[in-house]
Amino acid sequence: MFSKSSKPQNRIDSLIGTTTRIEGNVIFSGGLRVDGMIRGNVSAVADQPGTLAVSADARIDGEVQASHIVVNGTIHGPVHATETLELQAGSKVKGDVHYKTIEIHPGAVVEGRLVHHPAEVKGVELKLAAANQE
């Protein structure tokens, strides 16, 4: 009845290693784990589910966009999680955070606004849901 949200990738398709430094934008599909540093925007391919994992020693200076994002490291820039965002205890985000569902662990730091984007619900679906409750 309601549209299904995409599930996080359990598989990592790409890895940016600890000694790697990228200057420029990164566009990925599937799962991406960042252990190094990126100066540029990081985004999943549009209209496809993508999972971004930012490890404890990783740093991204730029805008981040994916359906599922797990942060242990540092992001300097806005974060857009179209589905879920998980901020682990050691994470630090300096920028506005846009999310549908969020999990913040004790010790996580956000220097910016938290902006919730609720799930899109169609009027017909609400009528059907109300009819089923009777």
What does the pLDDT look like over 53-102, one tens digit per residue?
A: 999 999 999 999 999 999 999 999 999 999 999 999 999 999 999 999 99
Select from 105, 112, 37, 31 the least CA-distant residue to 67. 31
Confidence of residue 11 (pLDDT cuts 50, 70, 90): confident
Give this prediction's pTM: 0.82
Element (H, E) at 124: helix 123-133
Select from 56, 123, 69, 60 the least CA-distant residue to 97. 69
- Domain borders along the chain are 14-133
* pLDDT over threshold 80, residue 39: yes
Q: What is the mean pLDDT of the chain?
A: 87
Q: So what's the pLDDT on residue 47?
A: 86
Query: Percent of the chain scored above 90 by pLDDT?
Result: 74
Q: So what's the pLDDT on residue 6?
A: 54
Q: Using CA atoms, how far apart are residues 56 and 59, in angstroms rounded to an integer?
A: 8
75's CB contacts (< 8 A; 6+ apart) are 54, 59, 60, 64, 91, 92, 93, 94, 95
| 108: amino acid identity, one letter | A
